[in-house]
Structure 1
Amino acid sequence: MARLARQIWTRGALLLGALAFAACADKTGHGRDGSERPRAKPAEVTALLPGGGADVESLSRAQISTGSGEILILEPDGSVTTMSLDSPEGRDAFMVTQADLEALNANLDLDLSALVAPDMPRRKTAQERALEEFAARTQPALPALRPGIEIKDEDFIAARVDSLNPERGNDLVEVTANLREGVDAEIGFAYATCALAGWADRNGIAFGRHIRTLSATRNGKLLVGSAFTLSGDRPLGLRVMETKETLRECEARGIPAA
């Protein structure tokens, strides 16, 4: 333990020497007294080390040369020990094994639990933050209609659902909806979504993720084409149709789910 303590304090002495050298000049390159040139580094710095004998409480004075790297230790009996950093003794003095560290921890009975606040909340991971930001951008399956827009039964003519990938099943579909001329495009999209919800309910499909919607006027009628991917589990998407919930909203708004 005495050897380990001495090794650690020797490291501390060298660190103090490095700090003393760094303190001779500030970040601007001027001395602390305001002179143009920084102060010269000291030839040596002084530190106190625990003695090398059995009495680890006794302190020995050590002088560290900033030029040669030698350590001069004044022992309690008055003798001087010289140690070079490049010598085997010097390298050994700075070598602390895993066993030494474990022994130090056991003898000092270190308890670092107080360094962590017990009530500190768990920080969210980057993935959790990204998912929350994505969820904040999501929109309901049916769009919010602007104030003053009226929904009339005669606005809705017909709608059908076609598979865009028949060889792989109904995982990708397009809803084509026909509406009366002059109907708002948002109502047209809502009609296509409600038509999909009715079709998905009859086929036992729980979710549809909106891909894209195109609209055009043909023969005086509004034609809307909306593509969706279908799945049994809720997918990631900015606009997801949940079949049962969407059907209830369509009925509340008076939009047919053909």
Structure 2
Amino acid sequence: MVRLPILKTLAMAAILPLTACGDAEDDARPKAKPAQMQARIASPGTKVGEAPLSLARVSTKSGEILILEPDGTVTEMDLDTPAGRDAFAVTEADLAALNANLDLDLGGLVAAAAPPEKTAQEKALEEFAARTQPALPVLREDAEIAPGMFIAAKVDALGDANGLVEVTANLQQGVDADIAFSYATCALAGWARENGAAYGRHIRTLQAERNGKLLIGSAFTMSQDKPLGLRVMETEQTLRDCRARGIPVA
């Protein structure tokens, strides 16, 4: 039934008078809304002056839609059904067709500059981006970095240069965990520059104390294209950040 999308506009036009409060001088309570409202609907897409009109009744209590067909039959549907919701899904094209057929000014019913609705994928990517973290953790304001904290670090490729790698870093016992992770990440950035890897995606980090030292083990996957990840190392930017903080890269 091609005319159903137009019902939303006409039903809105028919129901709007219900919101009026009546004469300002009348102190009596407003009249109860009628059980049903009548409207005439037109089939969109026909030539100007040739749109047939049908009678429709919209129940204000049950949400039931009753449409009197041209052949005298009545089509019934509930508003809270897929068919009922489709009947109220008016498009700009439908409004334009109705305006051409009935010479109505419906320009104010559709926002001309309304932004397009975001897709589920776009929303998910925005939520994911909000959870991402910088390659180097944000250090506490009172954090102090001294060269003696950093003992040694090495990077072992578990595949090729663009595959899985593990960074092992030794630091003085008691070093802040964020500084320790930064040291491992800076060591990876130095290795990545030498091996031509542009990005590293953090997988996991383990730490333990052994022989009076803090031992860090971090795993990353390397790639030439920026990957999706909650913590991604971009080689050149990370190297600049490491030098600014005074953390060695090898």
Into which bin does the TM-score normalised by the smaller protein fall?
0.5 to 0.7
In the alignment, the residues of structure 1 paired with residue 225 and residue 106 of structure 2 have an alpha-carbon distance, to the nearest angstrom, of 46
Q: Alpha-carbon deviation of 1:122?
A: 2.0
Which residue of the partner structure matches residue 189 of structure 2? 197
In the alignment, the residues of structure 1 paired with residue 178 and residue 113 of structure 2 have an alpha-carbon distance, to the nearest angstrom, of 49
Q: 1:214 is matched with which residue: 201, 206, 221?
A: 206
Unmatched 5+ residue regions in structure 2? 1-37, 41-67, 75-96
Q: Which amino acid aligns with 1:160?
A: K
Larger radius of gyration: 1
1:174 and 2:156 aligned: no
Q: Which TM-score applies when normalising by structure 1?
A: 0.56
Which residue of the partner structure matches residue 131 of structure 1? 125
Q: Secondary structure in 1 aligned to 2:185?
A: helix
Q: Alpha-carbon deviation of 1:250?
A: 0.2
1:122 and 2:116 aligned: yes
Which residue of the partner structure matches residue 151 of structure 1? 145
Unmatched 5+ residue regions in structure 1? 1-46, 50-84, 96-103
Q: Alpha-carbon deviation of 1:147?
A: 2.5
In the alignment, the residues of structure 2 paired with residue 131 and residue 246 of structure 1 have an alpha-carbon distance, to the nearest angstrom, of 23
The residue correspondences of 1:94-133 to structure 2 (distance < 5 A) are 94=73, 108=102, 115-133=109-127
Which residue of the partner structure matches residue 239 of structure 1? 231
Q: Secondary structure in 2 aligned to 1:186?
A: helix
Q: Which TM-score applies when normalising by structure 2?
A: 0.58
Q: Secondary structure in 2 aligned to 1:124?
A: coil
In the alignment, the residues of structure 2 paired with residue 181 and residue 223 of structure 1 have an alpha-carbon distance, to the nearest angstrom, of 9
Q: Which amino acid aligns with 1:240?
A: V
Q: 2:220 is matched with which residue: 207, 218, 228?
A: 228
Q: Secondary structure in 1 aligned to 2:187?
A: helix
Which residue of the partner structure matches residue 134 of structure 2? 140
In the alignment, the residues of structure 1 paired with residue 182 and residue 161 of structure 2 have an alpha-carbon distance, to the nearest angstrom, of 25
In the alignment, the residues of structure 1 paired with residue 161 and residue 137 of structure 2 have an alpha-carbon distance, to the nearest angstrom, of 28
Q: Alpha-carbon deviation of 1:108?
A: 4.3
1:253 and 2:245 aligned: yes
Q: Alpha-carbon deviation of 1:243?
A: 0.7
Q: Which amino acid aligns with 1:118?
A: A
| Percent of paired sites with the same residue | 69
Q: Which amino acid aligns with 1:181?
A: Q
Q: Alpha-carbon deviation of 1:113?
A: 5.8
Superposed CA deviations along residues 181-208 of structure 1, whole A, max 9, x for unmatched, are 2222211100000000011111111111
Q: Secondary structure in 2 aligned to 1:252?
A: helix
In the alignment, the residues of structure 1 paired with residue 161 and residue 128 of structure 2 have an alpha-carbon distance, to the nearest angstrom, of 29
Q: Alpha-carbon deviation of 1:209?
A: 0.7
Q: Which amino acid aligns with 1:196?
A: L
Superposed CA deviations along residues 33-72 of structure 1, whole A, max 9, x for unmatched, are xxxxxxxxxxxxxx9x9xxxxxxxxxxxxxxxxxxxxxxx
Superposed CA deviations along residues 71-91 of structure 1, whole A, max 9, x for unmatched, are xxxxxxxxxxxxxx9xxxx99
Superposed CA deviations along residues 131-184 of structure 1, whole A, max 9, x for unmatched, are 1111111111111112322111111111111122x2x65411110001122222
In the alignment, the residues of structure 1 paired with residue 127 and residue 236 of structure 2 have an alpha-carbon distance, to the nearest angstrom, of 26
Q: Which amino acid aligns with 2:220?
A: F
Q: Which amino acid aligns with 1:130?
A: A
